[in-house]
Amino acid sequence: MNSRERVKRAIRFQKPDRAPISHAVLPAAQLKYGKDLDEILTEFREDFGWDYTPDLPIEKWSAQYKQGLNCDDFGTVWRVEWAGICGIPVQWPIPDLDRYVEYLWPKDFMAGPPAGRHYSGHMCGYDDRWYARGGWIIYFEQLQQLRGMENLLMDIASESRPFLRLLDDMLAFNLRWIDRWLKFEYDGLHFGDDWGTQNRLLIRPETWRRLFKPRYAEMFGRVKAAGKDVWFHSDGFINDIFGDLIEIGADVINFQVAVVGHDWSARNVRGRVAVRTDIDRQNVLPFGSPAQVKEEVHRTFESCGTPDGGLIACGEVGPDVPLANIRAMYEAFRDYGKL
């Protein structure tokens, strides 16, 4: 079967021939390893239509990855200490909600994929051999970047009228952005918001369900109505809202299995939703041996996959991961991904 059919079967638990592979390589790793990394990723091709090539020239990187202070399309200023690793916002365009009426949403943003957001899939010509995944649509994180994290958490606690207006305006903006993506021939769109700390959700689950779940449901619903798959990413301990994400239409969820828990995943995730895996990048990938990396891949696959599918094999490659461990991870994807 071709890659597109393989991914679709994996998502729908329809017995693909193997677990599809998805690359997740930080630009900093590309800079560090160059051709050595290129060789590994070319050997273990992914199933989403990308032959591994070096990323954009550094001068064309987005504000979040270019070293120094950079302003993005929304007016947020980023400080990037290490080129190729996402920086942190240090200035926000809406520091005072009382002056929110003065904020101008970016207009050129809707003309096409901007420098400030990630995307994957086919932008130039459609090839039905590959599964095309577009977007990197953020909501909670964009609010952080507009207001600043401390301000945003206070907004959530107060639920003021200006804040509720901002929530609705952000939703309307994202729906327009989603409509833009839906004009392309993608099979699925990818959403991403980090909701978890190391051991709990950033806010109370009941608050998340009241303020954010309906808005995610509307965004997901727009994608589902167009016949596309919904992919969702979140780092951290998101156990409390996992069922909610499935309920409102997430088809594939990418989460930190080692943080959520392998055993918890086996009981609560396996067979309910497809998983784009995250191989432990806090401990095993950077600090383990190649044998331990392979063991972690096997444990993750056992926790999240089924004999009928439900796995997209993925592990984030950062500059702290030794080349031997990168190769070991992909070899394990090949060896343990056969169904």
For residue 261, pLDDT beyond 60: yes
Q: Is 81 contained in some domain?
A: no
From the number of C-beta atoms within 10 Å of its C-beta (0-12, 13-18, 19+), residue 166 rates as buried
Q: Is 78 contained in some domain?
A: no
What DSSP state is assigned to residue 63? Answer: T
- Contact in structure between 253 and 312 (CB atoms under 8 Å): no
For residue 122, pLDDT beyond 90: no
For residue 203, pLDDT beyond 60: yes
Q: Is 153 contained in some domain?
A: yes
Task: Extract the tokens encoding 124.
Answer: 């130039």
Q: What is the pLDDT of residue 128?
A: 86
For residue 257, pLDDT beyond 50: yes
Q: What is the pLDDT of residue 49?
A: 79
Q: Is 108 contained in some domain?
A: yes
Q: Is 84 contained in some domain?
A: no
The structure's pTM equals 0.93
Q: Is 68 contained in some domain?
A: no
Interval 3-13: pLDDT, tens: 999 999 999 99
What DSSP state is assigned to residue 97? Answer: G
Mean pLDDT of 140-153: 98
Mean pLDDT of 51-79: 82
For residue 258, pLDDT beyond 70: yes
Tell me the residue range of the domain where 11 lies. Answer: 3-60+96-336
Residue 208 belongs to domain with CATH number: 3.20.20.210
Cα 90 to Cα 67: distance, rounded to the nearest angstrom: 14
Q: What percent of the chain has pLDDT over 90?
A: 87
Q: What is the pLDDT of residue 139?
A: 98
CA dihedral 192, 194, 196, 202 (to 10 degrees): -120
Q: Is 237 contained in some domain?
A: yes
Please report which confidence band the pLDDT of residue 159 belongs to, taking 50, 70 and 90 as the band edges: very high
Please report which confidence band the pLDDT of residue 118 belongs to, taking 50, 70 and 90 as the band edges: very low
Structural domain tally of the chain? Answer: 1
**Do the bridges between strand 229-234 and strand 188-192 make them parallel or antiparallel, or are there none, so unpaired?**
parallel
Q: Is 67 contained in some domain?
A: no
Interval 299-311: pLDDT, tens: 999 999 999 999 9
CA angle 90, 91, 97 (to 5 degrees): 130
